[in-house]
Structure 1
Amino acid sequence: MAISFINNIFVENVMLVALFVNVICVGAALRPADTCLSETDYEELCGNVVKYIYAIGLSHVLVHESVASIALSELRALLGFSPLPAWQVYNRTKPSETELKNAPTLEAYYELREPRNERRCLNSTHLFEKNVDAGIKYLDEHFPAIRRIFRQIFEEKLLREGVLDKKLIDHMINVYFEALNRVDKATSDMLWYKLKCDDLEPYFE
């Protein structure tokens, strides 16, 4: 029993170290030392609907939601579920224990548990769905490491855990939040780093 417990702790620590190393690699991939995001880059990131001075301010909210959408897309794909649906009106009501218990399929259970927020919904006061679509397109084209790192983290966890059930879905949602926090920080650091380039720095003095 004691040996089994020690082995479990060892495996868990190895997985945490692997996750940490992966996130460091993402940060390195997102921050090439000799490049900066141009005015055109920020406009493209926002779908070319506003000029760069407004796009810069919008980018921090937009990138966070775009990264979250990429992560959820990868999680759904690896769980074998349908792609992310179109945005819906945000519902603050959490599913009841009865609803969760009676979910007819694992995908239906996941749909009830999937993380949502007020910025990725039809009644969002921050963004349109097309804004996030543009953000995802830009990140996939210019920073494909973001999607790859989520896929790798989720794959490692799924391979380790085995059979898919409600408990594993709950666990993978926790993994999603852990990975999102780390990758989102690396992405935000990258954005701030590139904002300090000579051509845009005067706008922040």
Structure 2
Amino acid sequence: MERRNREKIARTKEFTVILELQFCSTSSASSSFELTTDAPVNSIPDFASTTTTSSPFDMDLELKNIADICLTNREHELLAGDIVKHFFASAVNYRLVREAQEVIGLEELRDVLGFAPLGPWTNYSKSSKEEIEAATTIEEYYTLREPRSEVRSLDSDYFYEKNFPPAIAFLDKRIPTVRTIYRNKFAEIRSRPDAKVPIDRKEVDHMIHEYTTIAIRINEAFSAWSLTDCILRGELPL
């Protein structure tokens, strides 16, 4: 109980710092920035349809493209599910975008391994070593080993499960390269000469390790998002 209380206090401090940073960044921006208040997620230009596939996949370049993105105030609202205005939406999105992109990665990982889609949220728990070793099928083994997050569980102090579909839909349309990175990298890994077919436990462990590596790199790209930098680059108005 004491540990959980300490974690809650830490999360509260984290959110407070994010809001303070957001206030400092937005205080110099004009409130006259024009918003399109009637634009649902499906009104966002489909960046996937304009992406060319003729050039070879370059993960480093794709990550740089993510880091260089400047979302408008309205886009921040849509990413957050269109339930709060942009000031709070951008603070919420600081955590939401990281969790949502990890869900996209898990969706792609399950797909490439031929396993069932992600199920509904449950209470947060960690599988014991004994449970994992006792798994009777490779899919059960994967499910017990799959990376979990308390933020994406019924014990979350941050989000409801219903907050994620709008965020994932937004990312798929506005930043489709997130899913492309996971899909292409997983396909590349599974096509290596020593890839196990059919999949065994060692291969599952390897794929989970690769997923974690990719997720960290994408989160680092999202960490580069800065309203101040976007204004200085002239991509958002003062």
Please report the TM-score for the alignment, with normalisation by the length of structure 2. 0.68
Instruction: Determine if contact 1:47/1:131 at 8 Å carries over to the other structure.
Output: yes
Matched, 1:175 2:175: no
Instruction: Determine if contact 2:67/2:223 at 8 Å carries over to the other structure.
Output: no
Identity %: 36
The within-5 A match list for 1:29-178 is 29-30=65-66, 36-91=70-125, 93-97=126-130, 99-160=131-192, 161-163=195-197, 164-178=199-213
Q: Structure 1: how far apart are the matches of 2:208 and 2:63?
A: 23
Structure 1 residue 149: Cα displacement: 0.7
Task: Name which of 176, 184, 194 aligns with 2:219.
Answer: 184
Gaps of 5+ in 2: 1-56
Instruction: Give the partner amino acid of 1:157.
Output: I
Instruction: Determine if contact 1:110/1:169 at 8 Å carries over to the other structure.
Output: yes
Taking a change above 3 Å as real, the CA distance of residues 151 and 22 of structure 1, as seen in their structure-2 partners, is same
Classify the secondary structure of the residue corresponding to 1:126.
coil
Instruction: Determine if contact 1:195/1:201 at 8 Å carries over to the other structure.
Output: no
Structure 1 residue 182: Cα displacement: 0.9
| Larger fraction in helix | 1
Taking a change above 3 Å as real, the CA distance of residues 50 and 193 of structure 1, as seen in their structure-2 partners, is closer
Match of 2:63 in 1: 27
Taking a change above 3 Å as real, the CA distance of residues 128 and 199 of structure 1, as seen in their structure-2 partners, is farther
Alignment deviations for residues 87-141 of structure 1 (CA, whole Å, 9 cap, x no partner) = 11111x43223x2222121111111000001100011001111212211111001
Q: Structure 2: how far apart are the matches of 1:59 and 1:76?
A: 25
Instruction: Determine if contact 2:70/2:236 at 8 Å carries over to the other structure.
Output: no
Q: Structure 2: how far apart are the matches of 1:38 and 1:64?
A: 18
Alignment deviations for residues 138-175 of structure 1 (CA, whole Å, 9 cap, x no partner) = 10011111101111111111111132101110111100
Instruction: Determine if contact 1:88/1:121 at 8 Å carries over to the other structure.
Output: yes
Q: What number of residue pairs does the alignment pair up?
A: 177
* Aligned residues: CA RMSD: 2.2
Q: Structure 2: how far apart are the matches of 1:143 and 1:24?
A: 15
